[in-house]
């Protein structure tokens, strides 16, 4: 229990510390940021370890007639594990990327507050707490989106806020309806609506929930804020807009499907046959639009939209294998996408190139970066020795086993388009005409390069040894089936 | 002794501020004394209201009844302190004290001269006393008198300041408010003609017996009262006086007008609707549908108007129009959840909006800027003021942990129980719009890259006032306990009358 509280507090405390020391040097600030990220990570790992070992960790109470509860189950523990681990990498990368930038204090303050908010989403034990942290996450990530303070950034920020709050409004209505139907919002027991049984209107309730969380999960057509939010600094794009914020939306949908409705009731709802196709559409449309983008970060953004729906597709199959695939993809994709974004950030920072069409030859300038980028690109196709191979394998298996085999074809098609999306870039980056060489060995560059390579390494490691993450996936599947 | 205090408490909380208001002008030359008297009276009011609220909570719904002059109802005038009264008294006391604190050492330059300042305080205490009276009264004619006194004090407060548009705004308000009073008087008259009672309890009993004989009269009375109180509480589209009046008044006056005065009329309307007509008649005459519809229109229209304003105080004033909509929307949900939400929203908005107006006043006083677009970087120069403003804004948007959320939750729950599909949608759209008109202010204050303008936090009493109100927003959001309890009980009591 104490681990849980400390995990949640470490980001907040670090963030407030940084906020309260305005004139300190960047070295001290980095130490605070690193140590509170590390503390958060260690405590989250301990929480996850305890939860996966089958122990119950719960802090709960009532407030104004509304119950709140922090009670991570395997799904929350795995999400917390992903988030806290990647936060550590993003923190180190930030030290390199943000060196010499303006407004570092604001940056690190909200960077760490967002850590707490995301862990809060992960560890929430009922819908009220989930909603609370989900809203707080929107608010504390807003200053990160508008970090550049340009007109474009302000516009993106406004769009982000309005989209997110509208989504949260839909979620709130849905939560109130759920409360009035069951009087219970806790995830700890079985699915909330299982006892209510099939009744008219449940499709609409599901639609409200999915539309609400779908905003942050960037399900088409609710995705439009995400490409614009790419004006944020790269570590933020990598961490928040490829993992933490968007995952909180995905996580919300997983919760709704498995903890609120439950797979049995979901299977009886008419809309459960539509939702996989919404996800499939987003997968294909997202990646196709991605190939059309010339600005690398925008390409990555649309690619994110596509990949997030892999997870949703797995969840919507309502099959244990599909859920296993979704969980594996949640773990795998996050490492690869961080690698891609980190690579894009290094390229932009060291060479000033942000467009794909300008990238020929950067591979020879930045060999380490582009190697990691290349590995991640292969992973996005679902190539054999990488972790996403396994997630894709289980997603397909789940699609077929749940009697929706065309979904497997969608996944294969998306893999092919993915190949077009990044591989040519990597190839021309290595074979294209050489430009001015750029040092990849300065200190800041090292701080950026090491996390990038490490993440690519982790992706390979999981790919070669999926048993490393399997206990987590297994626990989640056993929790819900 | 205790029994005497208890039985006289309902009348003391009303007459003490009124009495002090009358003697205040004799000390006009000694402004320090005036200020400390006002603060003392209001602090006593907080104690009295708190004591009364705890009594009401302990008495389990049995109200404390006081008969004026020893004449029992229906002959005499009755003051009834039930859950609703205790709730509103607590609110009036809890908001008027910090707002008065904000005026300490601060009014003379805004209003001009110690005599004018004393006049301001006389009106302020008169308003506080009449609002307390609205909380406890159970008599229709008393309602009218209190409404009139409150209106006149409000007019005086609006024109207290040397703002160039203040006289015009105050005059506009006077004309429209008088129209409203006339309609209220008419409505009360019609009800008196058919029931023969001014005591709400007796009138209600009579009305439930005879309404079928006079359906048209009941219709007209309800219509008159609705429009009359609608004008007073700035229900869209009868709000036209409010933006001018609330934006030109001195900031503490704006705070008390937007935060409390408007709410007083709503409490009167709630009493007339639920204690006199009763929930059955409300539904028979479909008043709840009209209320809910008007409320929804007000939420959307008020928010859109607020969005279009660049002047900070005007934006806040239009925001009040939108938030009034929530109260009417909730009044239209004839169930305990909806009414609890409405009452809690009244409280939450009172605390939030008075805090926002005070913060706005502090900013305007310190920088001389009235437009939002000019308030660049003010968050770094006036950290306490802007922090209070931010907390208020979060409360208004209804982020969990802030007071607005609890009200929003109950309103949503009530409207879903009532089977409405449009109302929940309007409620959440309203809160997104609230974010759209409030967050840009925060963005300009903290995150705009341009050179910050000059300014600094106001003096100590003002800071305390801002901190108290911001703390109120958080406390109501995190631990609404007794307040929510009172609101919930009041809702049940209001619905008990069939």
Name chain B contacts of A143, Cβ cutoff 8 Å. Answer: 446-447
Is B429 in Cβ contact with A165 (below 8 Å)?
A: no
Q: Which residue of A has its CA nearest to B487?
A: A64
Q: What is the mean pLDDT of residues A418-430?
A: 85
Of B408, B436, B480, the CB nearest to A162: B436
Is B435 in Cβ contact with A64 (below 8 Å)?
A: no
Which residues of chain B are under the pLDDT cut of 50?
Answer: none
What pLDDT, on the 0 to 100 scale, is given for residue B339? Answer: 92
Which residues of A sit within 8 Å Cβ distance of B? 63-66, 128, 131-132, 135-136, 139, 143, 146, 149, 154, 157-158, 161-162, 165-166, 169-170, 172-173, 176-177, 179-180
Of B409, B432, B481, the CB nearest to A169: B432
Is A172 in Cβ contact with B408 (below 8 Å)?
A: yes
DSSP string for residues in A369-434: HHHHHHHHHHHHHT-TTSHHHHHHHHHHHHHHHTT-THHHHHHHHHHHHHHHHHHHHHHHHHHS--
Testing the interface with B: which of A137, A149, A172, A185 to mutate, by most B Cβ within 10 A? A172
A132 lies in some domain: no
How confident is the prediction for chain A on average, in pLDDT? 87
Residue A442 has pLDDT above 80, yes or no: no
Out of A123-127, A179-183, A307-311, which region has the weakest mean confidence (pLDDT)?
A179-183
Is A149 in Cβ contact with B409 (below 8 Å)?
A: no
Testing the interface with A: which of B335, B379, B391, B400 to mutate, by most A Cβ within 10 A? B400
Assign B198 to helix, strand or coil: coil
What pLDDT, on the 0 to 100 scale, is given for residue B1? Answer: 66
What pLDDT, on the 0 to 100 scale, is given for residue B333? Answer: 87
Q: What's the domain range around A370?
A: 288-295+314-481
Residue A171 has pLDDT above 90, yes or no: yes
- Per-residue burial over B20-34, b if 16 or more Cβ lie within 10 Å, else e, is bbeebeebbeebeeb
What pLDDT, on the 0 to 100 scale, is given for residue A439? Answer: 58
How many domains would you assign to chain A?
1
**Domain segments of chain B: what residues?**
1-136, 160-285, 292-498
At A30, the pLDDT band (50, 70, 90 cuts) reads: confident
Cβ atoms of A134 and A168 closer than 8 Å: yes
Is A173 in Cβ contact with B416 (below 8 Å)?
A: yes
What pLDDT, on the 0 to 100 scale, is given for residue A189? Answer: 80
Is B448 in Cβ contact with A173 (below 8 Å)?
A: no
A7 lies in some domain: no
A187 lies in some domain: no
Q: Which residue of A has its CA nearest to B411?
A: A176
Is B399 in Cβ contact with A136 (below 8 Å)?
A: yes
Name chain A contacts of B412, Cβ cutoff 8 Å. Answer: 172-173, 176
Cβ atoms of B440 and B372 closer than 8 Å: yes
What pLDDT, on the 0 to 100 scale, is given for residue B395? Answer: 93
A362 lies in some domain: yes
Tell me how far apart the 2 most distant CA atoms of chain A are, in Å.
67
- Our measurement of the distance from residue B237's CA atom to the centroid of its chain's CA atoms, rounded to an integer in Å, reads 19
Question: pLDDT tens for residues B220-274?
Answer: 999 999 999 999 988 888 888 888 888 888 888 889 988 899 999 999 999 998 8
Entry pTM: 0.92
DSSP string for residues in B19-37: HHHHHHGGGTT-HHHHHHH
Of A136, A162, A176, the CB nearest to B432: A162
Helices (H), B159-277: 166-195, 200-210, 215-232, 242-248, 251-256, 262-270
Burial label for B401, CB within 10 Å (0-12, 13-18, 19+), is: middle
Question: pLDDT tens for residues A451-464?
Answer: 899 999 998 898 88
What pLDDT, on the 0 to 100 scale, is given for residue B498? Answer: 60
DSSP string for residues in B75-137: TS-EEEE-HHHHHHHHHHHHHHHHHHHHHTTTHHHHH-SHHHHHHHHHHHHHHHHHHHHHHHB
Min Cα distance B329 → chain A (Å) is: 16
Is B400 in Cβ contact with A173 (below 8 Å)?
A: no
Of A139, A143, A149, the CB nearest to B399: A139
Contacting residues for A72 by C-beta, under 8 A, at least 6 apart: A4, A47, A48, A51, A57, A80, A122, A123, A125
Question: pLDDT tens for residues A85-117?
Answer: 999 999 998 888 888 777 888 888 999 999 999
Min Cα distance A16 → chain B (Å) is: 15
Q: Which long-range contacts (CB under 8 A, 24 or more apart) does A54-58 make?
A: A57/A1, A57/A3, A57/A4, A58/A1, A58/A125, A58/A188
Is A149 in Cβ contact with B416 (below 8 Å)?
A: no
Cβ atoms of B404 and B477 closer than 8 Å: yes
What pLDDT, on the 0 to 100 scale, is given for residue A441? Answer: 58
Is A162 in Cβ contact with B435 (below 8 Å)?
A: yes
A124 lies in some domain: no
Name chain A contacts of B446, Cβ cutoff 8 Å. Answer: 143
Which tokens belong to B117?
């300042």
Q: Which residue of A has its CA nearest to B406?
A: A64
Which residue(s) pair with B67 in the sheet?
B78
Residue A436 has pLDDT above 80, yes or no: no
Q: What is the mean pLDDT of residues A160-183?
A: 91
What does the alpha-carbon distance between residue A381 and residue B162 come to, in Å, rounded to a whole number? 71
What does the alpha-carbon distance between residue B271 and residue B278 come to, in Å, rounded to a whole number? 9
């Amino acid at each position: 229990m104490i681990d849980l509280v400390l995990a949640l507090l470490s980001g907040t405390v670090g963030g407030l510390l940084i906020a309260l020391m305005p004139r300190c040097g960047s070295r001290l600030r980095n130490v605070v940021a690193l140590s509170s990220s590390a503390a958060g990570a260690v405590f989250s790992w301990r929480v996850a370890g305890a939860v996966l070992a089958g122990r119950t960790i719960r802090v709960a109470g009532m407030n104004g007639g509304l119950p709140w509860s922090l009670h991570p189950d395997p799904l929350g523990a795995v999400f917390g594990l992903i988030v806290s681990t990647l936060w550590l990498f993003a923190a180190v990368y930030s030290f390199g990327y943000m060196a010499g930038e303006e407004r570092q204090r604001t940056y690190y303050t909200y960077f760490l507050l967002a850590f707490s908010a995301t862990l809060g989403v992960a560890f929430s034990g009922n819908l009220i707490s989930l909603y609370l942290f989900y809203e707080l996450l929107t608010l504390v990530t807003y200053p990160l989106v508008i970090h550049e303070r340009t007109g474009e950034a302000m516009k993106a920020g406004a769009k982000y806020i309005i989209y997110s709050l509208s989504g949260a409004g839909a979620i709130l209505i849905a939560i109130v309806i759920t409360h009035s139907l069951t009087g219970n919002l806790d995830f700890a027991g079985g699915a909330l609506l299982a006892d209510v049984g099939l009744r008219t209107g449940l499709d609409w309730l599901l639609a409200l929930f999915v539309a609400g969380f779908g905003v942050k999960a960037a399900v088409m057509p609710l995705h439009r804020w995400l490409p614009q939010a790419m004006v944020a600094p790269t570590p933020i794009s990598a961490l928040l807009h490829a993992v933490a914020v968007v995952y909180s939306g995905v996580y919300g949908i997983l919760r709704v499907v498995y903890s609120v409705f439950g797979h049995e009731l979901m299977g009886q709802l008419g809309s459960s046959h539509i939702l996989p196709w919404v996800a499939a559409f987003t997968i294909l449309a997202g990646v196709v639009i991605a190939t059309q983008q010339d600005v690398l970060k925008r390409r990555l953004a649309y690619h994110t939209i596509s990949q997030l729906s892999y997870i949703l597709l797995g969840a919507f199959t309502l099959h244990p294998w599909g859920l296993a695939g979704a969980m594996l993809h949640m773990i795998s994709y996050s490492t690869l996408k961080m690698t891609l974004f980190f690579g894009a950030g290094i390229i932009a920072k060291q060479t000033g190139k942000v467009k794909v069409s300008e990238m020929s030859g950067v591979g020879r300038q930045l060999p380490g970066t582009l190697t990691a980028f290349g590995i991640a690109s292969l992973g996005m196709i679902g190539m054999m020795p990488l972790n996403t191979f396994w997630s894709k394998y289980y997603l397909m298996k789940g699609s077929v086993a749940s009697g929706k085999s065309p979904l497997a074809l969608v996944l294969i098609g998306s893999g092919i388009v993915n190949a077009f999306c990044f591989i040519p870039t990597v190839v021309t980056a290595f074979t294209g005409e050489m430009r001015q060489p750029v040092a990849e060995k300065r200190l800041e560059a090292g701080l950026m390069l090491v996390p990038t390579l490490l993440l690519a390494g982790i992706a390979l490691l999981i790919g070669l040894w999926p048993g490393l993450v399997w206990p987590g996936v297994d626990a989640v599947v056993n929790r819900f089936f | 002794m205790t029994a005497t205090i208890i039985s006289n408490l309902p009348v003391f909380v009303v007459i003490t501020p009124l009495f002090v208001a009358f003697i205040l002008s004799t000390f006009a030359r000694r402004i320090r004394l005036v200020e400390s008297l006002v603060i003392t009276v209001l602090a006593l009011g907080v104690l009295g209201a708190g004591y009364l609220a705890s009594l009401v909570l302990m008495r389990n719904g049995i109200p404390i009844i006081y008969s004026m002059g020893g004449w029992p109802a229906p002959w005499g005038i009755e003051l009834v302190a039930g859950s609703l009264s205790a709730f509103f008294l607590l609110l009036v006391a809890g908001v008027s004290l910090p707002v008065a604190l904000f005026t300490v050492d601060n009014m003379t330059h805004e209003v001009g001269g110690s005599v004018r300042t004393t006049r301001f305080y006389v009106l302020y205490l008169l308003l506080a006393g009449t609002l307390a009276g609205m909380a406890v009264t159970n008599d229709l004619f008393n309602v009218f008198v209190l409404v009139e006194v409150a209106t006149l004090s409000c007019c005086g407060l609006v024109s207290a300041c040397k703002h160039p548009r203040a006289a015009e705004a105050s005059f506009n308000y006077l004309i429209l408010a008088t129209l409203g009073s006339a309609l209220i008087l008419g409505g009360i008259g019609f009800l008196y003609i058919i029931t023969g009672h001014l005591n709400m309890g007796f009138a209600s009993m009579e009305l439930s017996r005879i309404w079928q004989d006079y359906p048209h009269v009941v219709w007209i009375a309800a219509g008159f009262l609705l429009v009359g109180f609608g004008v007073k509480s700035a229900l869209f589209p009868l709000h036209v006086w409010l933006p001018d009046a609330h934006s030109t008044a001195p900031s503490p006056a704006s705070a008390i007008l937007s935060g409390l005065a408007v709410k007083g009329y709503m409490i009167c309307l709630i009493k007339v609707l639920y204690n006199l007509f009763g929930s059955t008649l409300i539904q028979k005459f479909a008043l709840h549908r009209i209320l809910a519809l008007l409320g929804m229109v007000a939420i959307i229209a008020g928010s859109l108007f607020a969005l279009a304003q660049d002047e900070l105080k005007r934006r806040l004033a239009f925001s009040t129009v939108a938030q009034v909509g929530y109260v009417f929307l909730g009044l239209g949900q004839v169930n305990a959840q909806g009414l609890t939400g409405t009452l809690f929203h009244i409280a939450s908005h009172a605390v939030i909006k008075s805090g926002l107006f005070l913060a706005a006043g502090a900013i305007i006083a310190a920088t001389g800027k009235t437009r939002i677009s000019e308030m660049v970087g003010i968050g770094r120069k006036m950290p306490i003021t802007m922090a209070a403003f931010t907390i208020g804004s979060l409360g208004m948007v209804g982020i969990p942990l802030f007071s607005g959320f609890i009200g929003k939750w109950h309103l949503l729950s009530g409207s879903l129980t009532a089977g409405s599909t449009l109302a929940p949608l309007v409620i959440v759209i309203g809160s997104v719009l609230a974010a759209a008109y409030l967050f840009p202010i925060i963005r300009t204050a903290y995150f705009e890259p341009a050179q910050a303008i000059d300014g600094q936090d106001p003096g100590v009493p003002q800071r305390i006032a801002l901190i108290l109100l911001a703390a109120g927003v958080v406390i109501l959001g995190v631990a609404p306990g007794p307040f929510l309890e009172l609101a919930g009980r009041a809702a049940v009591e209001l619905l008990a009358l069939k």
